[in-house]
Amino acid sequence: MRTTLYANATVIDGEHDEARERWSVLVEGERIAAVGPVDSLPAPAGARVVDCTGRTVIPGLIDCHFHGAYQAVTCWEDYDLRRSIEHATLLAARNAQTLLEAGFTSARDVGTRGLIAIALRDMIDAGVILGPRLSPGGRIISSTGGLADGFGHWVENRASLGHVVDGVEAVVKAVREQVKYGATNIKLEASGTGISPYSDSRKQTMSTEELAAAVKEAHRNNVRVACHAQATEGIKNAARAGVDTIEHGSFLDEEGADLMLEHGTILVPTISVIWLYVNEGPNVGVPQWIVDKFAGDLAEHRQSVEMALDRGIPMAVGSDSGHSFNPQSIIAIELELMVEWGFTPMHAIKAGTSIAARAIGREAHVGRLAPGLFADLLVLDGNPLESMKVLRAPGGIRRVVKGGRLVAGAECPRVEEIELGFDVAPEGATGGVGVGEDGAPDRPCCLQTSDELGQ
Ligand SMILES: [Zn+2]
């Protein structure tokens, strides 16, 4: 069995509140064998030793809000219409690898086209492609006119991001279909969002009865439930229904916070997606009406995160990446923004490791540096407690180790750097975005508000 000693590091184990100086991590095969002071952990005979002097070792990060199939999205049509499902699948494979290279060794997919996320999980597990340990979901289960009901009735798309169903019976059937194909996570919605053509972030959508029926059926099958909820009433409906995580949580009030604490609901606040919509969206082709909607949410979103911090609601890192302004390569920005919005650096790291592992139901396997867990870890050229930017600095991540194997990082030999951007997406009928002569995105205009759709 291959044995590696990561020796003499600053160790942040994802669980304890203090960093340990001059500690080591011993890895045997794909698991962690021991963690302790450098003097108590000599290298076993035959072990490889990675000298981590001056470096920090932390658990591999976890993205609780990944969408492998998202690529350079600026508006709803980009999710579903601009490229074929085959193109989207191949791009998702690359996005999974990018996520791993960004230091995320586990992820939960919370909404995909068709069965892309399940195929990704299976191909990663089989070693066909590189990617994080993936907890896959299916399409987003949505009510008519809700979050993921993206098109008029004249558009038929049986593999679209949204699976539109109404009523308890239909919702239960939708959950069973996803369980049938291997989802380990169900994504529901209790409110719309800024990009939804027929809804918005302040409108509650699926009823408590529909949500509760989905949760019951999912849990009966040992499958967890993530629920998009921004609207105040939507957050409460989702918490009452017993969802495992609430995504975004933009307009949390005291009663909603009470309900989340009562039900043990974890919040995935996705700070960066909302912040970047507003601050970067206009530069990369997001239509102004969408930017305006998110801009109207941002201050209250921050107040909600601060309330959740105050009230001690557990929060986990989730990126909602894959839009034109937040490619998978930059998503450690979520931890930077957590610190900017009031988390201590140690709390942000726990939100991206041990708390995130709890959020996705994988805490027995990942999210901490402890004996018996998978050896998923990062070797960093610096200390994230001093600056979280080390996670995004060129060469900041020296090693990404997944299951004891070096899979990415500056010290991982690789064939070629590939950076995907909106300007290299395929053009034409399968579509995408090119760059015009002036350097601006050259693309068909995005759809319209729902008012215009009705004309
Ligand atoms: Zn999302």
Q: Is 405 helix (H, G, I), strand (E, B) or coil?
A: strand
Q: What is the DSSP letter of 58?
A: E
110 Cα: distance to centroid of ligand 1 (angstroms): 6
Q: What is the DSSP string of 204-270?
A: B-S-HHHHHHHHHHHHHTT-EEEEEE-SHHHHHHHHHHT-SEEEE-TT--HHHHHHHHHHTPEEE--
270 CA to middle of ligand 1, Å? 9
**Domain map (residue ranges) of the chain:** 3-59+369-408, 61-359
Q: Give residue 320 CA to ligand 1 midpoint distance, Å.
A: 5
Strand 405-408 and strand 266-268: the pairing is: unpaired
Could you tell me the CA-to-CA distances from 295 to 12, 201, 279 in Å, in that order?
36, 12, 9
Q: Mind listing the pLDDT tens digit for each residue in 7-60?
A: 999 999 999 999 999 999 999 999 999 999 999 999 999 999 999 999 999 999
Distance 137 CA to ligand 1 centre (A): 12
* pLDDT exceeds cutoff 80 at 433: no
Distance 186 CA to ligand 1 centre (A): 12
- Going from the Cα of 148 to the center of ligand 1, the distance in angstroms, rounded, reads 10
CA of 67 to the centre of ligand 1 (A): 7
Please tell me the distance from the alpha carbon of residue 229 to that of residue 190, in angstroms, as a whole number. Answer: 5
User: What distance in angstroms lies between residue 38's CA and the mean position of ligand 1's atoms?
Assistant: 42
Strand partners, 106: 62, 133
Measure 321 CA to ligand 1 centroid, in angstroms. 8
Residues 104-135 have pLDDT tens digits of 999 999 999 999 999 999 999 999 999 999 99
**What is the torsional sign of CA 135, 102, 79, 448?**
positive
| Interval between CA 382 and ligand 1 midpoint (Å) | 31
Cα 226 to ligand 1 centre (Å): 10
* Ligand 1: centre distance to CA 146 (Å): 14
Structure confidence at residue 252 (pLDDT): 98
Q: Which CATH architecture has domain 61-359?
A: Alpha-Beta Barrel (3.20)
Identify the residue whose tokens are 């993530």.
Answer: 226
User: If you ran DSSP here, which 8-state letter would residue 444 be given?
Assistant: P
CA of 187 to the centre of ligand 1 (A): 9
Q: What is the pLDDT of residue 319?
A: 97
Q: Which residues surround ligand 1, an ion (CB under 5 A)?
A: 320
The per-residue pLDDT for range 75-104, each reduced to its tens digit, is: 888 998 888 999 999 999 999 999 999 999
The rounded Å distance from CA 190 to ligand 1 centre is 13
Distance 109 CA to ligand 1 centre (A): 9
Q: What is the mean pLDDT of residues 415-441?
A: 46
Give the model's pLDDT for residue 446: 60
What gap in Å lies between CA 370 and CA 124, rounded to an integer?
Answer: 24
Q: How far apart are the first and last CA of the chain?
A: 67
Ligand 1 centre from 228 Cα, in Å? 7
Distance 85 CA to ligand 1 centre (A): 18
Q: What is the pTM of this model?
A: 0.92
Fold that domain 3-59+369-408 belongs to in CATH: Urease, subunit C; domain 1 (2.30.40)
